[in-house]
Chains A and B, each alone.
Chain A
Amino acid sequence: MTVEARADRPGRTVAARNLFRDRPVIPLTVLLAVLVAVIELADPGIVNPNWVSVVVRQTVPLAILAGCQVLTMLTGGIDLSVGAVASMAGFVSATLVNGWGLPAAIAVPLAVAALAGLITGIGVGLFRVHPLIMTLGISFVVLGLSNVWQLQMVQTGAGVAPALRTLGSATLFDLVPLSFLVFVPVMLLIILSLRRTGYGRLLYAIGDNPVAARLSGAKSWQVLIVLYTISALLAGIAGLLLSGLTNTASVALADSSLLPSVAAAVIGGTSIMGGRGGYGGAIVGALILTVLSALLTVLGLPEASRQVVFGAIIVAVAAAYTRVTDQA
């Protein structure tokens, strides 16, 4: 909106709007830069390569979870199970690594996550259960079963695999987070799939107009089953990274990331109504949320006011999108 306010001629206003609508990454990056500038002003010297590295490392799991929301929201859905699935993955991994070794501690949780996603996909795709409800129900099931697993595992104890700790929190040359080894391929895969593959086109098509997609020959159940499996798999990966980053194994590890993941996708310009959006914006959205959080801490505001500001920003950004995209 700041861009728009400066525009004095209608032509330029329209151009600014189109930029915001079609390439939200650019104005969002400007907003991110402003936030970084403010945090530097508030606490001179805080912004250094080390700080940037910390922020990026913290953002990686959230950005992956935001990817789950972008993909599902493009089809007009949402994935409320990412919190439970990510927590489950991190927790199960931690309980397995001592007995079964690292490969199993990575493969088993991801397989369980994919299974949960498959069930979600079948519910949404074949049985046409509303995604909100289906993923909500699955999150109840996953959380409950994680708790049962936790009771079974009390004797054996749990600890995050050292390899995951390194992957989640270490850096290369004190600068590049090692989690980029996972994140960069994931990011490229999502962005390229959305832009240049038939599957990506179908996600947009189903979200924009399911009837038209069907009449054009798209079998949405196939697309949705694959989609929710991918989403749960991504959530599982995010959970492993998160457990490595925080060095905790808890069945509630990622619960607090659920709503921010939706928020990051919304700020990044993905419409919850489907058919519009992209992953690039969501990554910047996740960065904005992390930096904003850091800024509020620097300003000495309590957790309470941080939440209030969070909420206000989401409404404001979403309102700005609605304004520019509704222009006929």
Chain B
Amino acid sequence: MTLTATDLLLEATGVSKTYGAVIALRSASLAVRPGEVHALMGANGAGKSTLVKILTGAVHPDSGRIVVRGRERMVHSPGEARRSGLVSVYQEPALIPDLDIRSNLRLTDTPVEPFRHWLHELGLEDIDLSSLARGMPLASLRIIDLARALAIEPDVLMLDEMTAALPANLTERVLAVVASQKGGDRSIIFISHRLIEIAAVCDRATVLREGETVGIVDVTKGSEDRIVELMLGEMVASTPAVAERTAAATRARDARPRLTARGLASGTKLHDVSFDLYPGEVLGVVSLEGQGQDELFDILAGAVRPSGGELQVDGAPASFHHPADAIRAGLVYVAADRAEALLMQRSVRENIALPSSTPPQRWGPIDLRRERIVVDTAVARLQIDARAGGEVRRLSGGNQQKVTIARWVAGGVRTMLCFDPTRGIDIRTKQQIYVLLRDLAEAGASVLLYTSELKEVQLVCDRAIVIFGGRVVAQIAGADADEPSLLRAAYNLRADAVLPEDIAAAAAAEGAAPGAASPAAAARTEPGA
């Protein structure tokens, strides 16, 4: 690295930030050349988000220099950062829900024609600019947000987990567009937990660990190991090892299913989903974004009532009017969105003990000693790295996710519904969660696991069902559930000529027009797939 500052588009050095006693960034540096796609890597809590927030002016650093095109800058607000050519696309879309898309563009001084161009490139064309952002699917909003950022042609575009929660077809388009930005005058900082994507589109990677830049890696074939090694530091970097498990085939299948779903339907997304979930198994659910899996889990968790179909728990018909009913029937739900599951201002203890005081007959005095034992056991079992008295919002993302699981483990699990439980958390915590899910299954519990990371299916699941257009389209044994076959199954119906009209419409709305993926993108995702 003998580049001088002027050769760099963006250079940040010695950036630090502390929140009270917590050090978010110790001394981070980042150097981005013009025309490159630069990956920013690190385990959860390594300081990636803080660094991005500092670069976009959302957070003020305690110290450090930020130089853009050779000129030192101190950005004080996202508005200012925008004007200096630094734009970020966050995980939560920065679109105003109550304004229509056109007003959203006007708010950010985004020209409409380039915006349309990028929407087209990203495979999302049927957008009415006068429709409100509220009510649009998350995936569409993220694409709109990205198109809006691209339209103002920023010098440095930061993409924070851009492909998380995107369906595979849109992911391909996004990666193709990112790759197409290479070699120009502008750069992209790409944050992702998915090493495959990093390998596919990035030129170099900066790795952060515990708030410090620990290495800069040229991304070439085989550099993933090096990146993981840097991210984990002293820890042994290895591929996730999950406890040995009995093959699904050898499991006693004549046992009565714990949970039976027949023809579940809800609204316009979910049409006909049937499956059996047996004791002692982890059943994977695989689907592209917006194929009805959210609705399915909402129904199973008791949050939404189905418009059709029936549910049986342990062979007896069940109907849930409230999550409390589902919990009473032994179905507990772990949400992907931790903000949806946790009492951020309350202690770890109260969060874990929460379900035990919800029914009115439990509103009375609490046996604090018994509660402490139960909570401490759960904390120990999940290896939650915190004192039980501390506020949950001070924990790292991975530990927070563990608290959401510990809440149910504390009371003994019969059936656990996990919706993308490893989204956006670091590799080590992921592994612990895999092990835990397997342990639960070994102990006789049933686990239904939706995951957006296809490789998890083979690691954790005994078998998997694939949902497309609100219907189960395939069932795959865990041993055969490698990524290519899952992906093929997830897209299964696309080529089918006899699509019911509603599915076709839904697919079109998601921008999943047949043959939409460019050859280049397909080629790039090939090695990973």
Contact = CB atoms under 8 A, between A and B. Distances in A.
Interface of A: 10, 14, 17, 196-199, 201-202, 204-205, 208-209, 211-219, 222, 275-276, 327-328
Contacts of B19: 327-328
Contact of B358 (A17, A204, A216): A216
Nearest to A11: B21
Contact of B363 (A197, A204, A214, A327): A197
A201 B354 contact: yes
Contacts of B358: 198, 202, 213, 216-219
Nearest to A10: B21
A328 B20 contact: yes
Interface in B312-356: 322-324, 327-328, 333, 335, 339-346, 350, 353-356
A219 B21 CA distance: 37
Contacts of B241: none
Q: Which 3 A-B pairs have the closest CB atoms?
A: A198-B357, A328-B19, A199-B363
A199 B360 CA distance: 8
A209 B403 CA distance: 15
Given A209-B344, A217-B324, 20 more contacts: A10-B21, A197-B363, A198-B356, A201-B350, A201-B357, A204-B350, A205-B343, A208-B343, A209-B340, A209-B342, A211-B341, A213-B354, A214-B322, A215-B303, A215-B323, A215-B340, A216-B354, A217-B355, A275-B343, A328-B393
Interface string B498-524: 000000000000000000000000000
Main secondary structure, interface of A, reads: helix
Contacts of B303: 214-215
B142 interface: no
Interface of B: 19-22, 301, 303, 322-324, 327-328, 333, 335, 339-346, 350, 353-360, 362-366, 368, 393-394, 407
A198 B346 contact: no
Given A198-B362, A209-B343, A327-B20, A215 B333 contact: yes
B323 A216 contact: yes
| Most chain A beta-carbon contacts within 10 A, residue among B324, B340, B357 | B357
Given A14-B20, A208-B345, A328-B20, A197 B365 contact: yes
Contacts of B394: 328
Contacts of B359: 217
B360 A217 contact: no
B238 to A, nearest CB: 33
Best-surrounded residue of A202, A209, A214, A327 (most CB of chain B within 10 A)? A209
Nearest to B340: A211
Contacts of B346: 204-205, 208, 275
B351 to A, nearest CB: 8
A280 B89 CA distance: 45
